[in-house]
Amino acid sequence: MANSRKYKIGLVQMSMGPDPEANLATAIRHVRDAAKRGAQIVCLPELFRAQYFCQREDLRLFDLAEPIPGPSTQALGEVAREERISIVASLFERRAPGLYHNTAVTLDAEGKIASVYRKMHIPDDPLYYEKYYFTPGDLGFRAVDTPQGRIGTLVCWDQWYPEGARLTAMQGAEVLFYPTAIGWHPAEKEEFGTAQYEAWQTIQRAHAIANGVYVAAVNRVGHETGDVLGNRVEGPGLEFWGGSFLADPFGRIIAKASHMDEEILIGEIDVALMEETRRNWPFLRDRRIDAYAPITARFLDPL
């Protein structure tokens, strides 16, 4: 008999202001609201404590980083314990002097750190200068048990890589959470905006289908110039496109947020649907694991 276990997750789509403490307070309020609406696992957007500061390279902004465990995990851990929920929180980690990561922490229902994932794929694009701030993750891809179910967490740019989704799903993850900070360059939105958003959504729906899992993408929303305590980027900034969503193992969108507003999405995870989908689409059964060794090469040059 298929596993009939079900649980609810909450996705917090929020906007960020210039004050990190105010952003933390807002995040806590949204997490509590999600819990009141029945969410048992709640995920926050990427680097939710600040406006997206990677729009420029500025040594002063390393002061935003914090240790793990640290102030954010302590504050959110108290909320997790009080609400009896698990929380996925994306943080700017100060691991050692001069060594920083873009890190997602999973807190369990006792408020303790259950898992740490360091973002593996680090982008470097106009207004997304993450390589200046973040060292690539060295913990690999991982899944973790929560009281509700087994989940995996990846971060933003990881969304474009099927290898990360596959390796996390192969560890038994039922849901892949992607805390995210992605948006439009205002000058490009009219020409490319729809195609960019649809590509972002499509690649993640494909992860759900190929692996027979749920995929939860949790984005921020609003126009930002990287304003952190009065230090801002000159120029048009970025318009974060929201559109957070939850896709089921068939790739269907079962919950979706707008492009403009703060929202809390609540979606149900049905483990029996995973079983049913994988029985009909047995992609894991039919994988040719004997033929995939070349995938570890950077590129296969013509002979």
Specify the CATH number for the domain of residue 243: 3.60.110.10
Domain range enclosing 53: 6-281
> Is 1 a domain residue?
no
> Is 297 a domain residue?
no
- Tally of domains in the chain: 1
> Is 191 a domain residue?
yes
Q: What is the pLDDT of residue 67?
A: 98
> Is 299 a domain residue?
no
Q: What is the pLDDT of residue 150?
A: 97
In Å, how far are 23, 268, 273 from 4, measured between CA atoms?
A: 37, 12, 9
Q: How far apart are CA 247 and CA 74, in angstroms?
A: 31
Q: What is the pLDDT of residue 229?
A: 76
Phi, psi of 302 (to 5 degrees): -60, 145
Q: What is the pLDDT of residue 83?
A: 98
Extract the tokens encoding 189.
Answer: 């939105």
> Is 148 a domain residue?
yes
Q: What is the pLDDT of residue 3?
A: 72
> Is 244 a domain residue?
yes
Contact 154, 178 (CB under 8 A): yes
- For the annotated catalytic residues, the residue numbers are 46, 119, 156
Residues found in the chain: 303
Confidence (pTM): 0.96
Mean pLDDT by 10 residues, the chain (303 residues): 85 96 98 98 98 95 97 98 98 98 98 98 96 98 96 98 98 98 95 96 98 98 90 86 98 97 97 97 96 94 83
Q: What is the pLDDT of residue 232?
A: 73
Contact 268, 7 (CB under 8 A): yes
Q: What is the pLDDT of residue 2?
A: 63
Give me the half-sphere count of Cα atoms (radius 13 Å) on the Cβ side of residue 13.
26
Contact 280, 274 (CB under 8 A): no
Which residue's entry shows tokens 């991982």? Answer: 142
> Is 296 a domain residue?
no
- DSSP assignment, residue 20? H
> Is 290 a domain residue?
no
